[in-house]
Amino acid sequence: MDHLENIEEQAEIALDYEQLKVLANRTSNWRERLAAVEQLGNLDNEKAIDVLMHRMNNDSVYKIQEAAYRVLRTLGEDVQMPAKKKGDSFKGSNKIMLRIKKSLPKDHTVAEFGEKFKKMRIDMYDTYEGQKGDEFDQWLEETWNSLTIR
């Protein structure tokens, strides 16, 4: 019976890993990626460590890189804290956001701009929301104000 329970436990861990891997790599939701990174630490296996290494080295949201680093350290991995990247996360982001602003009626609000931005470029929206945290709304409004239409 112990052998059967062990097989069932391994199957459950494999299922958890597959689900967590999908969530950890979902570019449209930094909160899900963060939660998945934290949960992957409970699995403590090579596949989970590979996903955590990838998140630590490549995630566009620094909070997730930090979380992956902490989890990897807890698992005994010899890793270095990733450096916080400087500059914009997306090449040509101002052009993209200007295009979104131009696509809206002349008298649109910042809220309408934010909704369209989220709808058209959820990857960018999500990354900036994760990076800016509580300052996201202020950043969005400042960005919207700075986009001039000729």
pTM reported for the whole predicted model: 0.76
Asked if pLDDT for residue 72 goes beyond 90, the answer is yes
DSSP secondary structure of the chain: -HHHHHHHHHHHHHHHHHHHHHHHT-TT-HHHHHHHHHHHTTT-SHHHHHHHHHHHHH-SSHHHHHHHHHHHHHTT----PPPPPPS-SSTTHHHHHHHHHHTS-TT--HHHHHHHHHHH-HHHHHHHHHHHGGGHHHHHHHHHHH----
User: Token pair for residue 7?
Assistant: 């097989």
pLDDT, residue 102, reads: 94
Asked if pLDDT for residue 8 goes beyond 50, the answer is no
| pLDDT tens digits for range 20-46 | 899 999 888 899 999 999 999 988 789
Single out the residue of 44, 39, 86, 101 nearest to residue 64, CA to CA: 39
| pLDDT tens digits for range 121-145 | 998 999 999 989 999 999 999 999 9
pLDDT, residue 143, reads: 94
pLDDT, residue 139, reads: 95
User: Token pair for residue 129?
Assistant: 């929301």
User: Token pair for residue 119?
Assistant: 């709808």
Q: What is the mean pLDDT of residues 87-100?
A: 87
pLDDT, residue 150, reads: 66
Single out the residue of 52, 43, 46 nearest to residue 12, CA to CA: 43
Side chain identity at 81, as an amino acid letter?
M
Higher-scoring residue by pLDDT: 90, 60: 60
